Structure 1
């Protein structure tokens, strides 16, 4: 798939939204470059996490503007629903991020490009029209998204659990490979392998 190039028709006229859309496009193109250069999995994981995190931040910006300037409840709900469905797709992709192939990454890129184009031209344009018609945006600034202490604590705890699970799975896997199968019963070997599978499954759910 070719690079996702910014076009004048993508501009909605609200600086903070247009700026963030251009950053999203640059991040999608960063993914494109990684695919073209036969990425390493660690590099892909880093790029996708950056892209997904910024997408969530961008959605928060739009939703802040909608709430701040009195976007109609019906339109706000529909707009947020699109965001929620998109985030669900991102979460699904992240669940198996360490197993993605080049083909998988290319499909993710195609999905991101098509979704963002459609969302800008059909949904964000309507939001921008409302904001401009109601003279809502003056300095075109929005308060940056602030993560609460509770959210930070939850995120840190989740990350620690994930790191602990990775470490435990790795250590157990190493132990299994170092075992002498001639000195263990078949049942003991199967039990250790089952424990390793359980840890791997737990990690995939985090």
Structure 2
């Protein structure tokens, strides 16, 4: 299943939204690779990009979180979600050379569902916190 951006995923924070779109593009590359029956060796470079970009994105998001006043339990849970996802991606990367088409399909489904849920629940809430505290996207535009 391809992952298509819509305004429903918008957090209101441009930097986060652009990074989510980049993550979706990588997940879609994985989907396309699986759909054409590519051998496991072709999955590895995509998995490496995903692993690297995930770390980049979570660091950027966590830097924004560090500038905001957030409920401690929510903050802790959000960080734990990041760690769990990063660990899962790394585990799949470690096995990517031996990944079967079924494994790749499970991975792609997991990535889509996890990211959808994380964006719609945790990251949209983060966006609200940032907007309420006037810590909006212009203040965190990473192109400056």
Spell out structure 1 runs of 4+ moving beyond 6 A: none
- Out of 70-79 and 60-69, give the one that drifted further: 70-79
TM-score (norm 2): 0.92
Shift of 1:53: 1.1
1:126 matches 2:125: yes
Partner of 1:105: 104
TM-score (norm 1): 0.65
3-state secondary structure, aligned to 1:119: helix
* Residues 1-206 of structure 1 mapped to structure 2, 5 A cutoff: 2-137=1-136, 139-141=138-140
Gaps of 5+ in 1: 145-206
3-state secondary structure, aligned to 1:139: helix
Shift of 1:142: 5.5
| Distance of 1:11 and 1:73 partners within structure 2 | 24
Give the conservation status (yes or no) of the 8 Å contact 1:16–1:140.
no
Give the conservation status (yes or no) of the 8 Å contact 2:19–2:57.
yes
Shift of 1:8: 1.2
Shift of 1:143: 5.9
Shift of 1:138: 5.8
Give the conservation status (yes or no) of the 8 Å contact 2:68–2:129.
no
Gaps of 5+ in 2: none
Rg comparison, structure with higher value:
1
Q: Larger relative CO (CA 8 A, sep 6+): 1 or 2?
A: 2
Alpha-carbon RMSD across the aligned residues, in angstroms, is 1.6
